Chains A and B, each alone.
Chain A
């Protein structure tokens, strides 16, 4: 008869964490940051059909990195949770905090149960408030820990470098164009600090815009609109570097193809 090897609980957990962390680091990154009118989500994503960023509810959106089937499962679970809650109570009773808690419990139990493999995902649940100070961003990791983030957060791929970039460039009350510029710049730094160029077709971009008149604040920025914004971001960035500080928000210049 064979005797099973003794594996200390510390070792078992460390192995599981390692496994999940490696899976997550393999993917491309997602950046979430606040801007004057809400929260901006930018992901490097070559697929048109498989989204990393999605709407959960009126003011709540979801972003994820890692294994697609796993976070897609969690996303659908989240939409069902939000819709059933909103249907049986009221739309205002669906909150990012509640959803983050449920996700945390879900990820946590899966992580510490011996029977299932840990999910190789990291999630962000964000809720846009009526004013910038009411915006909430929660980051959830594979083991179910929740971090309450402020202003900006990055996950997946090359996190340290991207976060570093965001830390240096992000300010409160950025315009949408500037925020997009900051996000894309941060994403385009690869491991050794070299800058790659990322085009509109490689990006998935969405906002939770508190100024949107509709009840549902989530909006994807696609096609011409995104190209235009990126073009504007380009010129606004140059202007800022030259010292002509503030780009006028709210105006919509026609020009700006890449």
Chain B
């Protein structure tokens, strides 16, 4: 690898130069071609179909935050992948979900993960949740050229704020604009329907289990009305990815755990296909 093939095989001078604790900045100086932001956007809007990720939902509860994503990636009218994972741990206390061009988004998440870990190792301390959110913002901005040609990436970021002891949610637009959301949020093609469901079902006094259930209901509603969002696949046992972030760190619910909740939700929908109803007043 690079460190072994240059000169005498010793670490290149760039590696031993004190300075930035940012991995992206180091890459920018040493191997800029590895940075997604350095890529030249296509001159024409992209007409070829690239797989797109769809719906991500997230909601906070007392003591943490839950993020869940469906498993479908679409390519125009086709289903490109039925078991894609779009919710990733960013580090021990935060999670990032992606909607938009899957290939670019997954690469951005990978860089983001290394960025946070790198900072932690070099500095010996973690970035604040706000700091992480801002870092992601800059990465999205780096993708603006691509976004303008139709290859947008829109992540959703959530985490447990260790200093404040609460779960927090940050949403983004394609230009890297960041805003903090309170309670719940959804992104992706099915997000309109998911957000509607969240709005009616979300209560701030729910516990973690309740919030997980709300998220699954919201994803079901999104899949119900948006063809690009995948519903739970009971036959293949492909269930949404559900991740829980609390004081104890991040935990992805096992397929069995999610499966059990999905079955309750689906069984209830056998009688009431539109799901739970909210009172009028």
Contacts and interface: CB of A to CB of B under 8 A. Distances in A.
**Secondary structure class of chain A's binding surface, majority of residues:** helix
Contacts of A43: none
A177 interface: no
A54 B9 CA distance: 24
Given A102-B10, A109-B8, A87 B110 contact: yes
Chain A: interface residue count, which band?
Answer: 20 to 34
Contacts of B4: 98, 101-102, 105
**Secondary structure class of chain B's binding surface, majority of residues:** helix
B38 to A, nearest CB: 14
Contacts of B111: 87
A14 interface: no
Contacts of A109: 8, 10
A103 B8 CA distance: 12
22 contacts: A51-B124, A54-B124, A55-B121, A77-B15, A79-B122, A80-B15, A83-B23, A83-B117, A84-B23, A84-B30, A85-B3, A87-B110, A98-B1, A98-B4, A101-B4, A102-B3, A102-B4, A105-B9, A105-B11, A106-B10, A108-B10, A110-B10
A106 B92 contact: no
A83 B1 contact: no
Given A79-B121, A79-B122, A86 B114 contact: yes
Contacts, number: 77
Contacts of B27: 84, 87
B118 interface: yes
A56 B16 CA distance: 15
Contacts of A73: 16, 18
Nearest to A106: B10
Interface of A: 49, 51, 54-56, 73-74, 76-81, 83-89, 98, 101-103, 105-106, 108-110, 214, 216
B163 interface: no
A242 B27 CA distance: 57
Contacts of B30: 84
Contacts of B26: 80, 84
Contact of B10 (A54, A79, A89, A105): A105
A237 to B, nearest CB: 31
A109 B18 CA distance: 20
Contacts of B8: 105, 109
Contacts of B39: none
B92 A214 contact: yes
B34 A87 contact: yes
B200 interface: no
A216 B92 CA distance: 10
B243 to A, nearest CB: 14
B271 interface: no
Interface in B1-39: 1-4, 8-11, 15-16, 18, 23, 26-27, 30-31, 34
B5 to A, nearest CB: 11
B10 A81 contact: no
Contacts of B34: 84, 87-88
Contact of B31 (A84, A98, A214): A84
Interface in B26-71: 26-27, 30-31, 34
B229 to A, nearest CB: 29
A202 to B, nearest CB: 19
Contacts of A85: 1, 3
A54 B117 CA distance: 13
B121 A54 contact: yes
A80 B114 CA distance: 10
Interface in B76-117: 92, 110-111, 114, 117
Contacts of B31: 84, 88
A87 B10 contact: no
Contacts of B23: 80, 83-84, 87
Given A84-B27, A86-B114, A87-B111, A77 B9 contact: no
Given A83-B118, A87-B23, 19 more contacts: A51-B124, A56-B121, A76-B15, A79-B121, A80-B23, A83-B114, A84-B2, A84-B23, A84-B27, A85-B1, A87-B110, A98-B4, A102-B10, A102-B11, A103-B11, A105-B8, A105-B9, A106-B11, A109-B8
